[in-house]
Copies of this chain bind each other. A is one copy, B any other.
Amino acid sequence: MTTQVTNPITQEDIQVGEIANGLPLTIPVYRIKGDGTGPKVYIQANMHGAEVQGNAVIYQLLEQLKHMHLTADITLVPYANPIGCNQKSGEFTLGRFDPITGTNWNRMYQDNSHLVKEFANKHLESDIETIKNEFRQTLISEVDKVLDGPAYAITTGKRIALNLQKLAHQADIVLDLHTGPISSKHLYCPEYAKPSASYFDIPNVLMIPNDFDGAMDEANFCPWWNLTEAFATLGKELPIAVEAFTVELGSQELIDLKEAKHDANSILSYLTYKEAFTDSQYQPKTMQRYVCELKDYIAFYAPMGGMVEYLAPLGSHIKSGEPIANILRMERYLSEQPLQSICLDQDAITILHFASASVNQGTELYKFFTNYELLT
């Protein structure tokens, strides 16, 4: 007979800014503690305003976690971006970028990899535990240095990002929950963490190289990856201590609690593999998983302006030459073929498409995996 535990959950509201009428911007941080023997886990959602489903996944995670035997300390942050979340323009949430500057909210994290070289030199003789603790502290201090520096030097988005990054740097495992516009599930996975990818119930996996481009996952895995490489150069072998993923849950502007439960289970399966629990039964589903390198993840821009009928089903494997869209151009009904059929010139997996049916020439119509292979 299993006794049901009920783990205490705490909430802390951290301030990440102030809006024009002087009111604070806050983010709710939920924490649930394990027995201290497992990894530290950080999960956030909704950095982009319209990508709300991660909040539902965090809901479903909390509903499970409060009754599980945890080794891990888990921090969960829904509504990570209180500006993006509440920025409407017409009926939709305009939360992909700062409405004032156009800067993508998920490109404002800070790369602390420049600290690696000096750190590695200094800790050549240290043991792994010391290295992990000290480097973690170094990363956090570097973020604090900016947050505690002059207020006039930090943009709105940077302040939000750094407050989140500081929380994330405390963890061994970082999951940033996003969605595409109209999208199938896919996973951004650093190349070194490929073995972990098959524990998520996500069929399509992007392999991310060690390049920093401003995103949360990179802000967490790049320094640790670089640290390992720096030690390697110095002849010291060290496993990469942190895993960080961007989990793309599907489409934006959608709350689906049942699907959220599936995705919570997928995350619990991964966390089970990472030994976050003492007796978890969560296992990954059997499915064919595909990997694609980031350089082969291609955007397909609208070759002409018009009204789009999207034909390639999300997640589908399409063949070169198959129609992926019809573009209707009624203004030219008499002067040319008003319905243009659009194809891709190579085989691909359809990952996502644009959220709207009307596009300018050059609007990103689709994103595809190309040159993909089975994840093994």
Query: How many of A's residues come within 8 Å of B, CB to CB?
Result: 96
- Inter-chain CA distance A124–B17, complex, in Å, is 57
Indicate which residue in B90, B309, B355, B362 contacts A159 across the interface (CB closer than 8 Å).
B362
In the complex, what residues of B have CB within 8 A of residue A97's CB?
97, 101-102
In the complex, what residues of B have CB within 8 A of residue A309's CB?
56, 255-257
Let me know if A360 and B83 touch, CB within 8 A: yes
Indicate which residue in B49, B62, B152, B307 contacts A255 across the interface (CB closer than 8 Å).
B307
Between A and B, 7 residue pairs with Cβ closer than 8 Å are A30-B334, A49-B358, A56-B328, A89-B92, A90-B95, A151-B361, A253-B357
Indicate which residue in B93, B99, B253, B305 contacts A23 across the interface (CB closer than 8 Å).
B305
Q: Who on chain B is nearest to A105 by CB?
A: B102
- A residues near B, CB below 8 A? 9-11, 17-23, 25-26, 28, 30, 49-50, 52, 55-56, 58-59, 62, 78-79, 82-83, 85-104, 150-159, 181, 253-257, 300-309, 326, 328-335, 338-339, 345, 354-365
Chain B: minimal CB distance from A305 (Å): 3
Let me know if A328 and B102 touch, CB within 8 A: no
In the complex, what residues of B have CB within 8 A of residue A50's CB?
90, 356, 358
- Inter-chain CA distance A28–B360, complex, in Å, is 18
Let me know if B156 and A333 touch, CB within 8 A: no
Let me know if A99 and B89 touch, CB within 8 A: yes
Let me know if A156 and B361 touch, CB within 8 A: yes
Let me know if A307 and B90 touch, CB within 8 A: no
Let me know if B254 and A59 touch, CB within 8 A: no
Let me know if B156 and A55 touch, CB within 8 A: no
Chain B: minimal CB distance from A30 (Å): 6
- Inter-chain CA distance A300–B151, complex, in Å, is 9
Indicate which residue in B96, B253, B302 contacts A102 across the interface (CB closer than 8 Å).
B96
Let me know if A308 and B255 touch, CB within 8 A: yes
Let me know if A361 and B307 touch, CB within 8 A: no
Chain B: minimal CB distance from A278 (Å): 24
In the complex, what residues of B have CB within 8 A of residue A9's CB?
333-334
Chain B: minimal CB distance from A306 (Å): 5
Indicate which residue in B19, B89, B98, B308 contacts A86 across the interface (CB closer than 8 Å).
B19
In the complex, what residues of B have CB within 8 A of residue A10's CB?
334
Chain B: minimal CB distance from A324 (Å): 10
Interface centre among A85, A331, A335 (most CB of B within 10 A): A331
In the complex, what residues of B have CB within 8 A of residue A305's CB?
17-23
- Inter-chain CA distance A330–B85, complex, in Å, is 13
- Inter-chain CA distance A362–B361, complex, in Å, is 28
Closest 6 CB pairs of A and B: A18-B305, A156-B362, A97-B102, A151-B303, A102-B102, A20-B358
In the complex, what residues of B have CB within 8 A of residue A78's CB?
330-331
Given A91-B355, A91-B356, A156-B362, 12 extra CB contacts under 8 A: A10-B334, A18-B360, A20-B85, A20-B360, A59-B333, A78-B330, A86-B360, A151-B303, A155-B364, A255-B357, A256-B309, A257-B309
In the complex, what residues of B have CB within 8 A of residue A83's CB?
360
- Inter-chain CA distance A207–B346, complex, in Å, is 47
In the complex, what residues of B have CB within 8 A of residue A79's CB?
21-22, 330-331
